[in-house]
Structure 1
Amino acid sequence: MIEVANRLHTVEEYYFSKKLREVNLLIASGKPIINLGIGSPDLQPPQKVIEALTNGLLSPNAHKYQSYQGLPELREAMAVFYKTHFSVNLSANTEILPLMGSKEGIMHISMAYLNEGDGVLIPNPGYPTYQSVTKLVGAKPVLYELDASNNWLPDLKALEQTDLSQVKLMWINYPHMPTGAQATETLFEDLVAFAKRHNILIVNDNPYSFILNDTPKSILSVKGAKDVCLELNSLSKTFNMAGWRVGMLVGNSDQINHVLKVKSNMDSGMFYGIQKGAIEALKCSKMWFSTLNSVYQKRRDLVWQLADALKCTYDKNATGLFVWAKLPGNVKAEEFIDIILKENHVFITPGTIFGSQGEGYIRFSLCASTEVLEEAIARVK
């Protein structure tokens, strides 16, 4: 039998890949499962985006290989988007790299910068892909703990009491997933200074800025940030385009070129029609965000009622596409969600999949209609 690569022994199959098989089997057996686990938007993209994709299919360029760097007009739209919403100036020619979703960027950045044994600071709780990709490239995860007492922000003073000599890269993610915590301007300034002191590349993963949040922030707005920071962004949540796979990496030209060297060896460019649709999405006015968030506000109110029915507590100031809720007493997250799935046919994400600091918490997705959420409330009551 042919042995698999050693790197496969360092990671497990993604939690949702496994758990959704179980959920789908329950659905196939006739169980009326309500899925509040996945952050996959159920709403439609703007109509003009769909029209741009459709029209793009008729272009003589549609079926050709596309540029590894994307259409010039897509990069220009991304530059205008960052200037408009984050007050960040970017060169469309040299400081923006379109991606097939920001998840791709996590792998490309890691491959561009990490050698075997390099340390990587990873939030706990945090997006599981940061840790799995770190392991796949042979680097060493160095978890930094976040907790409610510090509003789920990193304690940089405590970090500087540890040995950072082997650390090369740090993942941050604000607005934070899964907790919905927001970074302050001061935190971003402190992170830039921290990165410069320790020669660490900081990458902010920033796909949730516009969901139930009136103050979107980019770490690149901080003076000197481009020297030591990159930022990932995505159209998945902001424009309901998760399946389209459109993201971007922004930062200084040298760092972008390093990542491009990896990317250009791994794909052949984004489909033309999708790029044309993305351009239209990035041109949306603030009315789009207001309309989108009015829907999510109604849904979040219902999810809060659901959390109340389950005797959970939560932070009403949190933002993003989820509600992060603390379970009562010493209830174990995975045991709790399995009971709710079995008895009430409602699937909720256990906080433990985001790290040990997620024990005692669960995460609800807002990607379900008000009718479905009302049904979930009725079931658990």
Structure 2
Amino acid sequence: MQVSVASRLHHTQEYYFSQKLREIDGLNKAGAPVINLGIGSPDMPPHPRVIAALTTAAQLPNTHAYQNYKGVPVLRQAMANWYQRFYGVVLNPEAEVLPLLGSKEGIIHISMTFLEAGDEVLIPNPGYPAYRAAAQLSGAIPVDYDLTAANHWLPDLEALAQQDLSRVKLMWVNYPHMPTGTPPDAAFFARLVAFATAHDILLVHDNPYSFILNQDPPQSLLAVPGAREVVLELNSLSKSHNMAGWRVGMLLGRADLLQEVLRFKSNLDSGMFLPVQLAAIEALQLDESWYAELNAHYAARRELVFELLETIGCSFTRQQVGLFVWAAIPAGYADGFALSDELLHTARVFLTPGGIFGTNGSGFIRVSLCQTTEVLQAALGRIRAARVQPSFTTSDS
């Protein structure tokens, strides 16, 4: 019997990392272990108090049942308190906070809730590939907006306003930006909200990196005056609290819009495991010392990544934030894929080619900070041994 694949999958490819990990696994099994500097999966554990909260709750006999789709009230209150304490945003925990099984879940939930065939979605290029995949799965049309080094990896809103935006229903933004590490900017955030308001566009801000190596206080797009009418924001404990595998995310914003997302979500999944919710509450109550200690580790790692990139001959700015370093490839390579493949097969070090994030990333590579300093030093040693020669040095522009 032949079973045809649904048309919604025709333009959706297997996630790049899913494919590449198979290749890396094959090299590892063949006795050529690879140092993987590609994926942003935090390698450090959560705070001991968080693990203790999970363990204690999991040992109770009454914590293993199905849970409410909206999460327990004390979790929503903890999320609202976290937003008020660190972002200066006051939220109603009953109506304006929706816990999610990770923020990636929220990307597809939002897309399936609000988009349909014929709608257009503004997608950053370069940007997180899940935005495009979710738009395509919903039947909507992805429309790239350019991010370039010349414009400091910010969209040219004036140029966008000159386009036909009549069919655009939703725009994805993400600052601190992944993959370029561009930090948030309050003045730009205000212009962004004004743009969305003027063109009747739902603005969705994906905000999981705001605590990582960000010298300024964490910023939320919801803090901008007037944002509540046009903005939904996604956040997560994956990066900020080393809880990627726990799948704790949140969607924040207008009560009526969250209620519609919940209508879709409740037909797709169930509530979060109660011990995970109780542990997440403990994580959200950690003070500034937790983030300072986390960032001390990442700062030391970033210096080694800078050295590694200089050895390869890449150029980059040191004013990046978030969990990765973004760098332009040296002359002589067709694109980031060519450099990534060369390093994989000559030095057994994997770096992510920037082209997986869109055409504007083709001349770049991205390096994850989610490895210890010992592993990063080993990667640097391998690259030096492979005699990859630098062709130009770093830029602080």
TM bin, normalised by shorter chain, reads: over 0.9
Asked if 1:73 is matched to 2:74, the reply is yes
Aligned partner of 1:368 among 371, 378, 384: 371
Match in the other structure for 2:103: 102
Shift of 1:330: 5.0
2:9 alignment counterpart = 8
Q: Report the counterpart of residue 378 of structure 1 in structure 2.
A: 381
| Separation (CA, whole Å) in 2 of partners of 1:275 and 1:38 | 26
Distance 2:165 2:118 in 1: 13
In 2, the alpha carbon distance for the partners of 1:351 and 1:10 equals 20
Whether 1:273 aligns to 2:275 is yes
For structure 1, list consecutive stretches of 5 or more residues without a partner in the other structure: none
Cα distance in structure 1, aligned partners of 2:39 and 2:331: 25
Q: 2:357 aligns with which of 354, 359, 377?
A: 354
Report the counterpart of residue 51 of structure 1 in structure 2.
52
- What SS is found at the alignment partner of 1:314? coil
- Secondary structure of the residue aligned to 2:370 is coil
Secondary structure at 1:353 match in 2? helix
Given the alignment, which residue of 292, 295, 315 partners 2:294? 292
1:24 aligns with 2:25: yes
Q: Does 1:142 align with 2:116?
A: no
Under a length normalisation based on structure 2, what TM-score does the superposition of the two structures give? Answer: 0.95
After TM superposition, give the deviation of residue 32 of structure 1 in Å: 2.0
**Alpha-carbon deviations, 1:195-249, whole Å to 9, x = none?**
1111100000000000001321100000110100000000000010000000000
Q: Partner residue of 1:212?
A: 213
For residues 226 and 258 of structure 1, what CA distance do their matches in structure 2 show?
16
Task: Tell me, in whole angstroms, the C-alpha distance in 2 between the residues paired with 1:361 and 1:98.
Answer: 35
Other-structure match for 2:311: 309
Q: CA deviation at 1:270?
A: 0.3
Whole-Å separation in 2 of the counterparts to 1:287 and 1:61 = 33
1:65 positional shift: 0.6
Q: Deviations over 1:285-328 (max 9, x none)?
A: 00000000000000000000000000001111110000001111
Looking at structure 2, the residues matched to 153 and 19 of structure 1 have their Cα atoms a distance apart, in angstroms, of 29
Off by >4 Å, runs of 4+ in structure 1: none
Q: Contact between 2:8 and 2:137, CA under 8 Å: does it hold in 1?
A: yes
- Contact 2:232-2:251 at 8 Å conserved across structures: yes
1:217-236 alignment, distance < 5 Å: 217-236=219-238
Paired residue secondary structure (2:93): coil
- Counterpart Cα distance in 1 of 2:124 and 2:102: 21
Aligned pair count reads: 381
Contact 1:61 1:272 (C-alpha < 8 Å) held by counterparts: no
Runs (5+) with no aligned partner, structure 2: 385-397
Contact 1:153 1:183 in 2 (8 A): no
1:358 maps to amino acid = G
CA distance in 2, matches of 1:23, 1:234: 28
Q: How far, CA to CA, are the matches of 1:175 and 1:350 in structure 2?
A: 19
> What is the aligned-residue identity percentage?
55
Counterpart for residue 341 of structure 1: 344
Q: Residues of 2 paired with 1:303 and 1:195: CA distance? A: 37
Alignment partner of 2:196: what SS? helix
Partner of 2:164: 163
Match of 2:134 in 1: 133
Contact map agreement 1:147 1:153 (CA 8 A) in 2:
yes
**TM superposition shift of 1:58:** 2.4
> In 1, distance between residues paired with 2:30 and 2:300?
32
CA contact (8 A) 2:183 2:214 kept: no
Please tell me whether residue 152 in structure 1 is matched to residue 183 in structure 2. no
Provide the rounded CA distance (Å) in 2 between the counterparts of 1:60 and 1:110: 38
What's the secondary structure of 1:53's corresponding residue?
helix
Aligned-residue CA RMSD (Å): 0.7
Check the 8 A contact 2:314/2:329 in 1, yes or no.
Answer: yes
Does the aligned pair in 1 maintain the 2:115–2:140 contact within 8 Å?
yes
CA offsets per residue over residues 48-91 of structure 1, 9 Å max, x none? Answer: 00011111112343111100000111000000000011000000
Distance (whole Å) between structure 2 residues aligned to residue 107 and residue 7 of structure 1: 13
Matched position secondary structure for 1:88 = coil
Given that 2:228 and 2:254 are in contact with CA atoms closer than 8 Å, whether structure 1 keeps it comes out as: yes
Q: Which position in structure 2 is the counterpart of 1:181?
A: 182
CA distance in 2, matches of 1:364, 1:350: 9
Secondary structure in 1 aligned to 2:242?
A: coil
CA distance in 1, matches of 2:67, 2:318: 44
- Select which of 222, 233, 249 maps to 1:247: 249
Residue in 1 aligned with 2:285? 283
Secondary structure of 2:26's counterpart equals helix
Q: 2:321 aligns with which of 319, 322, 335?
A: 319
Aligned to 1:226, what secondary structure does the other structure show?
helix
Cα pair 1:68 1:270 within 8 Å, conserved: yes
The answer (yes or no) to whether the contact 2:176–2:184 under 8 Å persists in 1 is yes
Q: TM-score, normalised by structure 1?
A: 0.99
SS at match of 1:40: coil
User: Any idea what SS the aligned residue of 1:313 has?
Assistant: coil
